[in-house]
């Protein structure tokens, strides 16, 4: 009989056990941690070092564990002290399909506020789960208490002052953080209040030399003062903001920017010919794409990645994200998509990654674009209408004409979210999808990742295609008895 894991663990040096845990799949770390006391001691810090959650019950239970007092945990460890990256996100909120419970969101917020000061190793935080009272959390993150923090990605709601109330100077704390590489802010509410504007401008001014990724949505208004006084963003590589921000003095030099995401509500890009000379990736509408690639230009931007309508593939209830200019109106291939993509003739680089949101899967449209997409390595197509068997089959020869293509993702995100629609008819039919893969293999030897739905996807290994990543159904949350007490305490305070 082979020795058990618990029998092997005491025989190995702790340093080697740490290397084993670092190399293990995150899905296996939980089982490893339960194998023995020794492995629990080694695996738990690795398990909690990087947290990336999108399912509500998992977020609730995780934050409860992080907020728990060390004396109540196994081996009396402070789990919050292990956290280095923390990402809590509601992937379906954008489509109005969120199932996150409002009352329990308040519990999560209070518990996270309790745990956050103990996360002294925290380097990166993404916090987008539809909660409004996050200004105190934001100011705590930027106060300088966290010496390792370099990435902040938050949705912020700035509350409006009560009628006749005086503006309090103590609403925010001074900026102390330095060396941020990522700052992504999606704000709403009274962000133009002088106190908030001053705080955000100070934050931007203190970190403009190190920022590599910046998001300023829905507009750059609250940052105007900083953008007019900052000389440049010398390290900036990714920008998500209205194009008008490029007219600010801080963006006189945009040569470092490689990726630009344009809000769909911005009708015209209107770029100066000298702006974004080294741009490689763009997420925009079909109409906006043509403005990045004018036919008569002295310099051709080397755009090699295009995500029309900011389309994104995710295995979630809403099937990934996209933004349409008009509600429930998906783009047609010959009227919108093909004309826009033909402007890639004027790019300084071949196209290697493409994502489109369309009304249907069009083999003819793809065939017409073949001279422009023959070098693709990644292709994402999100469609509103469920493809027929002939369309799924007829795609196969086209895949063979793209010899570098390793990823082909067919998304039912539009079908799921448009007018409370449904996934594709074959979303859970593995036999049907496996037959399609057998057909694809006859034409393409480069494919390694394929999806026919956002329910799950396929990975090609040495022994063939394997399905993985099936959506996990959310579970009912059973209160631990502290939630009601916290609500009563907040009501009496």
CA distance 98 to 89: 11
CA 345 to chain centre: 30
The answer to whether 398 touches 387, Cβ cutoff 8 Å, is no
The answer as to whether 76 is a domain residue is no
| Residue-wise pLDDT tens digits, 299-352 | 999 999 999 998 988 888 777 767 765 555 688 999 999 999 999 999 999 999
Count the Cβ atoms, other than its own, within 10 Å of residue 242. 17
The answer as to whether 330 is a domain residue is yes
The answer to whether 304 touches 351, Cβ cutoff 8 Å, is yes
The answer as to whether 317 is a domain residue is yes
CATH code of residue 302: 3.80.10
Tally of domains in the chain:
2
CA distance 336 to 290: 11
Q: What DSSP string describes 114-158? A: HHGGG-TT--EEEEESS-S--HHHHHHHTTT--TT--EEEEEEEE
pLDDT at 381: 96
- pTM for the predicted model, two decimal places: 0.88
Range of the domain at 11: 1-48
The answer as to whether 325 is a domain residue is yes
Spans of the chain, pLDDT less than 70: 1-10, 95, 131-133, 161-173, 321, 324-329, 419-420, 474, 478-493
The answer as to whether 53 is a domain residue is no
The answer as to whether 402 is a domain residue is yes
pLDDT at 1: 37
pLDDT at 194: 81
The answer to whether 128 touches 90, Cβ cutoff 8 Å, is yes
CA distance 278 to 288: 18
CA distance 21 to 235: 34
CA distance 160 to 147: 31
The answer as to whether 355 is a domain residue is yes
pLDDT at 492: 37
The answer as to whether 200 is a domain residue is no
Count the Cβ atoms, other than its own, within 10 Å of residue 6. 13
């Amino acid at each position: 009989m082979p020795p058990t894991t618990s029998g092997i663990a005491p025989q190995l040096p702790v340093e080697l056990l740490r290397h084993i845990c670092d190399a293990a799949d995150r899905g296996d770390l939980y089982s490893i941690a339960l194998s023995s006391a020794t492995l629990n001691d080694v695996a738990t810090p690795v398990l909690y070092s990087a947290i990336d959650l999108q399912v509500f019950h998992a977020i609730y239970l995780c934050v409860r564990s992080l907020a728990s007092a060390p004396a109540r945990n196994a081996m009396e460890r402070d789990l919050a002290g292990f956290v280095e990256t923390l990402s809590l996100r509601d992937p379906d909120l954008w489509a109005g399909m969120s199932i996150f419970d409002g009352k329990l969101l308040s519990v999560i917020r209070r518990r996270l506020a309790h745990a956050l000061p103990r996360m002294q190793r925290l380097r990166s935080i993404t916090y987008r789960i539809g909660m409004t009272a996050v200004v105190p959390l934001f100011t705590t993150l930027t106060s300088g208490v966290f010496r390792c923090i370099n990435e902040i990605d938050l949705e912020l709601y700035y509350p409006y002052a009560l009628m006749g109330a005086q503006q309090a100077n103590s609403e925010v704390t001074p900026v102390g953080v330095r060396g941020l590489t990522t700052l992504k802010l999606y704000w709403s509410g009274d962000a133009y209040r002088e106190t908030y504007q001053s705080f955000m401008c100070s934050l931007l001014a203190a970190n403009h030399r190190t920022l590599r990724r910046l998001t300023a949505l829905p507009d750059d208004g609250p940052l105007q003062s900083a953008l007019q006084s900052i000389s440049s963003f010398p390290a900036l590589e990714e920008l998500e903001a209205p194009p008008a921000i490029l007219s600010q003095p801080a963006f006189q030099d945009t040569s470092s920017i490689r990726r630009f995401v344009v809000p769909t509500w911005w009708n015209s890009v209107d770029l100066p010919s000298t702006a974004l000379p080294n741009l490689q990736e763009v997420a925009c509408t079909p109409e906006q794409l043509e403005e990045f690639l004018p036919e008569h230009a002295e310099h051709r931007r080397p755009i090699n990645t295009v995500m029309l309508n900011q389309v994104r593939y995710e295995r979630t209830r809403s099937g990934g994200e996209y933004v349409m200019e008009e509600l429930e109106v998906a783009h047609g291939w010959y009227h919108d998509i093909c004309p826009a993509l033909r402007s890639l003739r004027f790019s300084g680089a071949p196209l290697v990654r493409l994502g489109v949101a369309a009304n249907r899967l069009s083999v003819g449209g793809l065939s017409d674009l073949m001279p422009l997409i023959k070098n693709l390595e990644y292709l994402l197509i999100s469609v509103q209408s469920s493809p027929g068997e002939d369309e799924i089959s007829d795609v196969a020869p086209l895949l063979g004409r793209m010899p570098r293509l390793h990823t082909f993702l067919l998304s039912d995100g539009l079908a799921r979210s448009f007018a409370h629609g449904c996934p594709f008819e074959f979303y859970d039919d593995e036999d049907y999808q496996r037959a399609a893969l057998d057909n694809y293999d006859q034409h393409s030897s480069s494919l390694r990742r394929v999806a026919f739905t956002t329910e799950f996807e396929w990975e090609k290994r040495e022994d063939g295609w394997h399905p993985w990543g099936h959506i996990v159904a959310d579970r009912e949350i059973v209160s631990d008895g502290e939630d009601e007490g916290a609500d009563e305490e907040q009501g009496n305070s």
